[in-house]
Structure 1
Amino acid sequence: MTATQHDADVIVVGAGPGGSTTAYHLARHGLRVLLLEKTEFPREKVCGDGLTPRAVKQLVKMGIDTSPEAGWLHNRGLRVIGGGVRLELDWPDLASFPNYGLVRTRLDFDDLLARQAVGAGVDLRTNVNVLAPVLDDAGRAVGVTAESGPDKAPVTFHAPLIVAADGVSGRFPLAMGLAKREDRPIGVAVRRYYRSPLRHDDNYLESWLELRSKENPDKLLPGYGWIFGMGDGRVNVGLGVLNSSSAFGKTNYRRLLTDWLANTPEDWGMTDEANAEGPILGAALPMGFNRVPHYTRGVLLVGDSGGMVNPFNGEGIAYAMESGELAAEVAVQALARSAGPERERALAFYPTELKSRYGGYYRLGGIFVKLIGRPEIMKMATRHGMPHPLLMRFVLKLLANLTDPRGGDAMDRVINAMTRVAPAV
């Protein structure tokens, strides 16, 4: 196939945070980018809506105004509740990351990122449902087949490189023969919005390490919970359960959420169904590189499609955006080379660099998931760890993956050493 037959230099499948970030950086480097999204914007996504400083850094790189005047709710850090202790931990002051987090609904957030990509020159096509790769004689992806519009008209697009950013379902990687690895951690999260004038403008993200029902407050419910103020009169409330828990796959997660919320103060507004906005929605959290390889036969995997959710805290947006930026950098260098072995050598850098950046950290995260899946260990950790603010500041840095890679304080050096010596996943 000649270059003149290509519809773009790169096709990006999926316009979530990972796909839009990838497309933006590709376009900023002068490449022709086709961004294909199966839905219309704005559209709903199941998420906690909270962004740590890692994600904020990526937004700043994309030139997005993160001020309160632009519709963002800022937060100072994380409030942790467990073991009878309520602890507020500010985000660390680092050279590498800003010292504030943000909250914004995915309904607004994904739309904003897609529009930023379009502003950089990306060709965004919505209502285009990508079905499968177009393969050449060597089995390399050279395009995609799709259904377009309400009439599902068949269309085909060609490009020398494809980025799969189609989320946890990973339909495109599956069509390339890339199945999920069952030996990696995965979680399930459910969330709902509630009107809560008392809690909506909280300047901390709130994490509950222990969940208890009103009927039996002495018994710990499985999983961990969150309450994130949205700044618009509402809160995002949810919980997650990891596959290391004996309750995983055997629990009514929606009932679990309402059982926990029934135990919260009435003036928060979460015990009254009349304050709820919309149904309880759920989604899977693919963690710790649970789909590999991240590059094969003309296709790079970005974000949830490649199982890049942080096993320590369930954060996915920051890693989707970071992997998207990296994929764009690699693609730009690769396409500047001749097709064949030289280009493949450049593309092979993508999985190598991902493994270098996150492999050891995700290995530690996998161990963490196995430990906290045992209620007796979680109970002991909260009881003995929560009363010690210095230890908890270390835990915050570890769980949020917020350290300065060079220099930094003693905590940074310990965490960085741990991730270096841990064998990469």
Structure 2
Amino acid sequence: MSETHLSLHSVRERPESEADVIVVGAGPAGSTTAYYLAQAGLDVLLLEKTAFPREKVCGDGLTPRAVKQLTAMGIPVTGEGWMRNHGLRIIGGGVRLELPWPDLAEYPGFGLVRTRTDFDQLLADRAQQAGARLLQRTSVVEPVIEERSQRIVGVRAKNPDGERTTYRAPLVIAADGNSSRLSVAMGIRKRDDRPMGVAVRTYFTSPRHDDDYLESWLELWGESNGKRVLLPGYGWVFGVGDGTSNVGLGILNSTASFREVDYRGLLRNWTQGMPEEWGFSEENQRGNIRGSALPMGFNRVPHYSRGLMLVGDSGGMINPFNGEGIAYAMEAGQLAADVVVQALSRPTQQTRERTLLRYPQILADVYGGYYTLGRYFVKMIGNPYFMKYATRYGLPQQTLMRFTLKMLANLTEPRRGDAADRVINGLSTMAPSA
């Protein structure tokens, strides 16, 4: 098989360092992509720089969108380690409001909480069961680029001993997270006109560990130039079910004070104001406060170029409305795998490439308009006057808040639904996709 030729048939006689597709990163995006590719009969090499189990910074909350993806992959979502929730509890402006997840045929009526310590491993194991070859503690350092075509035809990676190996495949998928070294090396850089967030979180031993609602606090106060300001973002309290609660906050870059915020200090100050009986105190803290970036709204494009596809955080696929990333990473992984499988069935390099070039447009069709609305939303909540008005007058309106929950969580029936579904779907369709 030539370096730029794709095949639907795995050639087992070839070296172990060669594959039909290389997937870099075994988080939710990479493992889901690898699973669907392997299910289709492709020889998939899944490279992960760390070793499982491993910790990732996350709220650990899974909306019904993510639950749908888990069940589609045949992953059981009951039993030890899974904490089921019924909806979202919103607190702000003196209001405490519980909103059940919408009753939809398209999605299950419940969400979940599961720590990333072993969540990612469950997905990677599922990809292996489908036939993907997982190599852990294998850190990709650079792409292998064919000089004539300037296409990526593999990657160079090093093992824990520092030894380098070249892995080759005619198609490489970057699922290597926000920094996406592979994308940068291929000249695909971030867009400055897309929203970015920062999330920090820790765990506390707490009697609230078995709370069956995800809890969101809409008022986060910080300081800017010596003044107290309302920050664009929210805090969360998610019961993990194992004696601990995941407590954290996310802040958007839509205000001038974004770079001035001491996120860890803000989290400490916020939790210190919680009721003492909840146990969110220093002596009950389990692990350090850790943070990560939240790349949103397609902040890195194009999602396909010269043999490289981007999936998940590498392509900025986090929902700007609510900071949710896992569901979209998994959905995009399935979409990417479908495009790849279709491409591999084409008889010529030209028709294969034409099929691969459809991937960015498919993503734009599915998410583009909705993410554009999300960018407008981010700008609005960056205005402290809007935030004050919304929390004071919007939260008490239950009908409005049920609509808002559907909008923020992107939970609607695609064809048949209520008036809220039709409005949200209509707005998403009308909004520009780029």
- Identify the TM-score tier after normalising by the shorter chain: over 0.9
Residues 30 and 60 of structure 1: CA distance in aligned 2, closer, same or farther (over 3 Å): same
Deviation at 1:211, TM superposition (A): 2.7
Distance 1:170 1:248 in 2: 23
Q: CA RMSD in A?
A: 1.3
Counterpart code for 2:173? V
Give the aligned partner of residue 177 of structure 1.
Answer: 187
Task: Give the TM-score normalised by the residue count of structure 1.
Answer: 0.96
Q: Residue by residue, what CA displacement relative to the aligned partner does 1:335-368 show, whole Å, maximum 9, x if unpaired?
A: 1123421001111121111000110000000000
Deviation at 1:247, TM superposition (A): 2.0
Distance 1:337 1:125 in 2: 29
Deviation at 1:184, TM superposition (A): 0.3
Q: Is contact 1:163–1:300 with CA below 8 Å preserved after alignment?
A: yes
Counterpart code for 1:97? Y
Distance 1:409 1:163 in 2: 38
Q: How many residues align?
A: 417
Deviation at 1:212, TM superposition (A): 5.0
Distance 2:175 2:217 in 1: 31
Structure 1 stretches of 5 or more lacking a match? none
Distance 2:330 2:85 in 1: 20
Residues 191 and 156 of structure 1: CA distance in aligned 2, closer, same or farther (over 3 Å): same
Within 5 Å, give how 1:315-354 maps onto structure 2: 315-354=324-363
Q: Residue by residue, what CA displacement relative to the aligned partner does 1:222-275 show, whole Å, maximum 9, x if unpaired?
A: 2310000000000000011101022211111000001111110001011x2110
Q: Of residues 231, 238, 244 in structure 1, which corresponds to 2:248?
A: 238
Q: Of residues 110, 129, 138 in structure 1, which corresponds to 2:139?
A: 129
Give the aligned partner of residue 295 of structure 1.
Answer: 304
Give the aligned partner of residue 74 of structure 2.
Answer: 63
Within 5 Å, give how 1:92-171 maps onto structure 2: 92-136=102-146, 137-148=148-159, 150-171=160-181
Counterpart code for 2:384? P
Q: Is contact 1:246–1:373 with CA below 8 Å preserved after alignment?
A: no
Q: Residue by residue, what CA displacement relative to the aligned partner does 1:123-166 show, whole Å, maximum 9, x if unpaired?
A: 00001100111111211011111111x21111001111111000
Matched, 1:248 2:251: no
Helix, strand or coil at the partner of 1:247: helix
Distance 1:162 1:248 in 2: 35
Percent of pairs with identical residues: 63
Residues 152 and 339 of structure 1: CA distance in aligned 2, closer, same or farther (over 3 Å): farther
Give the aligned partner of residue 370 of structure 1.
Answer: 379
Distance 2:129 2:100 in 1: 34
Distance 1:103 1:227 in 2: 11
Matched, 1:18 2:16: no
Q: Residue by residue, what CA displacement relative to the aligned partner does 1:98-117 show, whole Å, maximum 9, x if unpaired?
A: 11000000001001111111
Give the aligned partner of residue 65 of structure 2.
Answer: 54
Q: Is contact 1:212–1:263 with CA below 8 Å preserved after alignment?
A: no
Give the aligned partner of residue 293 of structure 2.
Answer: 284
Q: Of residues 227, 238, 251 in structure 2, which corresponds to 1:228?
A: 238
Give the aligned partner of residue 47 of structure 2.
Answer: 36
Matched, 1:261 2:276: no
Deviation at 1:402, TM superposition (A): 0.3
Matched, 1:415 2:424: yes
Q: Is contact 1:227–1:235 with CA below 8 Å preserved after alignment?
A: yes
Q: Is contact 2:81–2:242 with CA below 8 Å preserved after alignment?
A: no
Q: Of residues 315, 318, 327 in structure 2, which corresponds to 1:309?
A: 318
Distance 2:347 2:188 in 1: 27
Q: Residue by residue, what CA displacement relative to the aligned partner does 1:385-421 show, whole Å, maximum 9, x if unpaired?
A: 1011110000000000000110111110000000001
Q: Of residues 187, 196, 210 in structure 1, which corresponds to 2:197?
A: 187
Q: Of residues 96, 99, 114 in structure 2, which corresponds to 1:89?
A: 99
Helix, strand or coil at the partner of 2:34: helix
Task: Give the TM-score normalised by the residue count of structure 2.
Answer: 0.94
Deviation at 1:205, TM superposition (A): 0.3
Q: Is contact 1:210–1:220 with CA below 8 Å preserved after alignment?
A: no
Helix, strand or coil at the partner of 1:249: helix
Matched, 1:401 2:405: no
Distance 1:60 1:236 in 2: 24
